[in-house]
Structure 1
Amino acid sequence: MLDLDRDEITGGPIPKTLVILAVPLLVQNLVQVLQQVIDTLWLGRHSLEAVAAVGLTFPVVGLVTAIAVGAGVGTQVLVSQRVGADELALGRRAAVNGAVVGLVGGTIVGLAVWALAGRIVGIFGAPDLVTEYATAYLATIALAVPVLSASEAIESSFIGWGDTRAALYINVLAIAVNLVLDPFLIFGWWLFPELGVAGAAAATGIGYGVGIGLGIGMALRGRSGFALLRTDVDLHLDDCREIVDVGWPTAGQYVSSQSARVGMVWLVALVGGAAGLAAYTIGARVATISFVPAIGLQQAAQSMIGQNLGAERPLRARRTTWTGVAIASVGLTVVGAIQWAIPGALSAAFVPDATPAELAVAAEYLRILAYGYWAIGATYLLQAGFNGARRTRTSLVATLLQYWVVRIPVAAGAAFLLNMGVTGVFWAVTLSNVAAAIGLGAYYWSETTTGMNERAAKTAAAEGAEAAD
């Protein structure tokens, strides 16, 4: 049912192909959410300070893993365009060099964060025990960043190739190993050392190391025609430069959005107090789960768009983008309608001990957030349209405008100038999402009407021919 030939990606029914590619990625993302929940449950059995420590480092870890996101997107786009052009050997070579970029970049960033972990955590001014645990967790996860980045590049290579199930298998194995090792490394079960909070981070690194082994094994065995050969294992600086050129704006986009979220948390805490902060946190958690389908669809669309541009089918790449926009918008509209109808129940499920007043604020935010769900789905897929055409800088600029030019200024203005308090901050989130979707949609229509995809197809063909020489 989920089998898909490469020819279908460039010639099959667009909606069906998109969904088939996206389903394994949807499952993969849901499994990642499950991993975070189970990690928290084990750490909760260790101590309250352990949970607080991991929560404290969460924004920092998000910023650090931007290198993995950049390496992954750069590799996926380059592999997909070469596979679409039927340059399979060049696609495999791009996959190898993508893993190298992830490994090298992750090593540089990881070692820097490892060395500065104590100073970074100290900025937050948390209690001594929480700071101690957070430092240990951050330093350990920093050493795992090279593995995480290389794993992301390998998974993205399979996605770019059109085999999203392989990426799912790699991720599920990595997370399964992580979850099994968690209690052994946290509490020192059996022959394992008791590492406490650092054990959770170590389990993550080991899990993704095992996942890399599976990915390499599938590539060597020739899964889906990948058939990695000795001649493909070639460090090629031009490939590395292309991957970095495509990927760094995505990493910058991720850093920008994460940094802006930190600013929003500060603003919410300032004007909304504990109740507002709890509501914002609940909304963020519910939204994370709700957006999983759109993220999977975005990854699938990037591969389809890249392959169609590599195959010199720019109109089909454009139709793929708009089809994805329609599917994501309709799907998230349905999710938003459900959220709008039962915000109180959702709030109580996440924070059962909250007071009625706190639940009321949380329910208000969930309803306001639901109005813009369609826009979030559209934005993800429009970014895929630009990313697949190697226009990742456009996605970066759109994110900068969405968060720093619209969301934060509107939130501050509504909260203080219009005296709307935390409700104004909540509306700023939805308004910025809608503004991003409308603006990015208009720009995508304009750019594709004036030949963006045609130019991208010619560039991919020219660079493929140059790389083959």
Structure 2
Amino acid sequence: MLDVSSEDITEGNLARALVFLATPLAAQGLVRVGEAVIDLFWLGRLSGDAVAGVGLADSFYALVIAAVIYAPMVGTQVLVSQRVGSDDDESARLTAFNGMVLGAVLAVVGGVLAFLFIDPVVGFLAGLESGGGGVNVEESATTYLRVIFLGLSLAVVSDVLEMVYIGHGDSKTSLYMNVVPVLVNVTLDPLLIFGYGPFPRLEVQGAALATVTSWGAGLLFGLVVLRTSRGTGLFSRAQARLDRATMRDLLDTGAPIAGQNLARQVARFAMVVVAFLAGGGAGVAAYYLGARVAGVSFVPAGGLKNALQSVVGQNIGAERADRADRATRVAFAIAVGLLTVVGVVQLLVPGAVVDLLAPTLDGTARGFAVDYLTILAYGYPAIGAAYMLEGGFNGTGRTKVPFVSTVLQFYAVRLPIGVGGALLLDFGVQAVFWGVTVSNVVVAVGLGAYYLRSVNGGMMRRAAGTAAD
């Protein structure tokens, strides 16, 4: 029912195409974020130190994953969708194969290097806490990362394969590739963390093992689908070869997004450090919990952004510049409306959300978490707007624009507010939280103004002409 053909995207109703393509993507995003929330749910019943430790670990993991996954993932989605839109199936298959190879190589190299730096990085972070309790936090973070980085390649290759399906308009298979892992994770997490039945009690290590196992299950499912009718035409032996020009195109398209996300994660890493300095383990636990809740809240916008990138890309490939612009505006309105509703709901029940996810948090950590969820909610409409504007630029191949906007968002607004407010003006960890929301609003306004200027200057028409060449 939710299948979307190339004709639907380039000729049919845009709102329908966006919603139909985004629905399984949003469900996929919910499943993926749900996997992380599942870890938080069970670790939150283990101890506050476990939550803080995995929060520290997550900041380092996010830094590494940003460095290795986005270039092959986004490059594959954008180029495959454009080549499908222009009916160049051979180039689409060649791009898919080279994207998979690029993702595998980057994942192996990145995972090995990250594994070697676990002890010094976590030791440095844990040493920043002025209060007690740092030893348990450090042990939890180190244990978690040792397992996660060994399985990194499973996550990266699986995500690139998902982008191949999405580039062809098949977001349903991508959804299934995430449903399988979450089912595995939701089953294994309590068994391995607490040692129910014949399973050993592995605590934080068990959470990591459940996550890596679930990544492998998702990848296996995606590979199996390639042998069915849904996978017909996505790859071929004739195009299963390395191609220098295709690799260059993948990197040219995806590298700015990789840089954008790496810049974002470096800044988030720094914000975790500031939260640790300002609030200790309680500050990190609150920041981690808030990030997980925000991840769930942003799911509609994330799914719509990915759908928009494919819709814009295929319309650019079909030389329908007017539809590419119209799709961006329709997606913008939908995302802002949805996240406004989500923000209002979060403003009403922040304490209940904290108690549901992490009942073992002490009074200080719980108070910080409630503050963060409240402050975050004010910026949700702006996040929806920024996501769609980024999707519009990415779909045209102008991936450097979101990169520059992200650098300015994090380094000109978010970090100065967080560092200055928390450490220099002594406003406490709440300054970190306000830095996040203010930066989200500023980037939405800036991107909106630049998008209008670019479209009025012929951005979509030029992109369509380039794709036709």
TM-score range, shorter chain: 0.7 to 0.9
Task: Work out whether 1:267 is the aligned partner of 2:267.
Answer: no
Q: Which residue of 1 aligns with 2:130?
A: none
Q: For 1:86-165, list aligned pairs within 5 A.
A: 86-125=87-126, 131-165=138-172
Residue 24 of structure 2 is aligned to residue 17 of structure 1: no
Residue of structure 1 equivalent to 2:84: 83
Worse overlay, 183-192 or 304-313:
183-192
Secondary structure of 1:228's counterpart equals coil
Match for residue 240 of structure 1 among 236, 247, 257: 247
Q: Is the 8 A contact 2:189 2:207 kept in 1?
A: yes
CA contact (8 A) 1:106 1:149 kept: yes
1:300 matched to 2:301? The reply is no
1:79 and 1:94 in contact (8 A); partners too: yes
Aligned equivalents of 1:196 and 1:360: distance in 2? 26
Task: Report the counterpart of residue 368 of structure 1 in structure 2.
Answer: 375
Q: Distance in 1 between matches of 2:189 and 2:286?
A: 30
Go from structure 1 to structure 2 and tell me whether the alpha carbon gap of 1:274 and 1:151 turns closer, same or farther (over 3 Å shift): closer
Q: Which residue in 2 is equivalent to 1:65? A: 65
- The normalised TM-score by structure 2 is 0.87
How far apart are the structure 1 equivalents of 2:418 and 2:150? 37
* The 10-residue stretch of structure 1 (59-68 or 199-208) with the greater mean CA deviation from structure 2: 199-208
The aligned amino acid for 1:38 is: I
> 1:166, CA displacement in angstroms?
0.8
| Cα drift, residue 434 of structure 1 | 1.3
Q: Secondary structure at the match of 1:231?
A: coil
Q: Is the 8 A contact 2:257 2:399 kept in 1?
A: yes
Distance in 2 (alpha carbons) for counterparts of 1:433 and 1:99: 33
Establish whether residue 338 from structure 1 lines up as the match of residue 339 from structure 2. Answer: no
- 1:228 deviation in Å? 2.9
Q: Quote the RMSD (CA, aligned, Å).
A: 3.1
Answer yes or no: is the 8 Å Cα contact 1:113–1:139 preserved in 2: no
Q: CA deviation at 1:110?
A: 1.0
Matches of 1:41 and 1:280, distance apart in 2: 15
Question: How many Å separate the matches in 2 of 1:419 and 1:55?
Answer: 23
Q: Which amino acid is the alignment partner of residue 376 of structure 1?
A: I
Match runs of 1:313-332 below 5 Å: 313-332=320-339
* Gap regions ≥5 residues in structure 2: 128-133
**1-structure distance, mates of 2:426, 2:48:** 36
| 8 Å contact kept, 1:221–1:227 | no
Contact 1:22 1:300 in 2 (8 A): yes
Shift of 1:414: 4.9
**More moved, 42-51 vs 259-268:** 42-51
- Pairwise CA distance, 1:281: 4.6
- d(CA) in 1 for partners of 2:82 and 2:38? 37
Aligned residue type for 2:325:
R
Aligned to 1:380: 387
Q: How many Å separate the matches in 1 of 2:53 and 2:355? A: 24
* Secondary structure, counterpart of 1:137 in structure 2: helix
CA distance in 2, matches of 1:104, 1:314: 35
Q: Deviations over 1:179-201 (max 9, x none)?
A: 44556666788998887644543
Partner Cα distance (1:207, 1:361) in 2: 31
Note if contact 1:137-1:201 (Cα within 8 Å) is conserved in structure 2. yes
Q: Is the 8 A contact 2:184 2:214 kept in 1?
A: yes
1:53 Cα shift?
4.0
Structure number with greater CO (CA < 8 Å, separation at least 6) is 2
Q: Quick one: distance in 1 between partners of 2:139 and 2:349?
A: 40
Distance 1:374 1:121, change over 3 A: same
Query: What per-residue deviation string (whole Å, max 9, x for no partner) do you get for residues 118-165 of structure 1?
Result: 333322236556545543432332221222111111001111111100
Identity of aligned residues (%): 46
User: What is the match of residue 438 of structure 1?
Assistant: 445
Q: Take 1:98 and 1:64, find their aligned partners in 2: how far apart are those partners?
A: 18
Deviations 1:408-458 (A, max 9, x none): 223445557877555554433322111101100111111122122222222
Q: Residues 367 and 44 (structure 1 numbering): CA distance in 2 closer, same or farther, change over 3 Å?
A: closer
Structure-2 change in CA distance of 1:48 and 1:166 (3 Å): same
- In the alignment, is the contact (CA less than 8 A) between 2:47 and 2:360 conserved in 1? no
- The whole-number CA distance in structure 2 between the counterparts of 1:23 and 1:31 is 12
Alignment of 1:180-199 (within 5 A): 180-182=187-189, 197-199=204-206
Q: CA deviation at 1:342?
A: 3.6
1:6 counterpart = 2:6: yes
1:184 and 1:96, CA in 2 relative to 1: closer, same or farther beyond 3 A? farther
- CA distance in structure 2 between the partners assigned to 1:41 and 1:355 by the alignment: 16
8 Å CA contact 1:114–1:140 kept in 2: the answer is no
Decide which moves more: 406-415 or 140-149.
406-415
Q: Distance in 2 between matches of 1:429 and 1:50?
A: 24
Alignment partner, residue 406 of structure 1 = 413
Return closer, same or farther for 1:208/1:85 CA change in 2, 3 Å cut-off. Answer: same
Instruction: Give the letter for the 1:103 counterpart.
Output: A
Residues 165-176 of structure 1 aligned to structure 2 (within 5 Å): 165-176=172-183
2:310 maps to amino acid: S
Displacement after TM superposition at 1:310 (Å)? 1.0
SS in 2 for 1:232: coil
Count of equivalent residues: 462
Q: Which moved more, 1:271-280 or 1:257-266?
A: 271-280
Could you tell me which runs of 5 or more consecutive residues in structure 1 were left unpaired when the two chains were aligned: 463-469
The separation in 2 between residues aligned to 1:181 and 1:80, in whole angstroms, is 36
Q: What is the Cα deviation at residue 269 of structure 1?
A: 4.8
Contact 1:115 1:139 in 2 (8 A): no
Counterpart for residue 467 of structure 1: none
Q: Which residue of 1 aligns with 2:260?
A: 253
Secondary structure of 1:124's aligned partner: helix
The code of the aligned residue for 2:345 comes to: I
- The answer to whether the 8 A contact 2:56-2:272 is kept is no
Deviations 1:9-32 (A, max 9, x none): 111111111111111111112222
For the 8 Å contact 1:220–1:228, the answer to whether it is kept is no
Q: Distance in 2 between matches of 1:351 and 1:194?
A: 20
Q: Deviations over 1:276-332 (max 9, x none)?
A: 666545543332221111111111111111111111111111111111111101111
Matched residue of 1:65: which SS?
Answer: helix
Distance in 1, Cα, partners of 2:262 & 2:61: 11
Q: String of CA shifts for 1:333-379, please: whole Å, max 9, x gaps.
A: 11122223344444454455668887666555444332221110000
Residue type of the alignment partner of 1:20? F
How far the C-alpha of 1:85 sits from its partner, in A, is 0.6
Offset, 1:404: 0.6
Instruction: Find the residue that maps to 1:391 and give its secondary structure.
Output: coil
**Quick check: 1:163–1:224 contact (8 Å CA) kept in 2?**
no
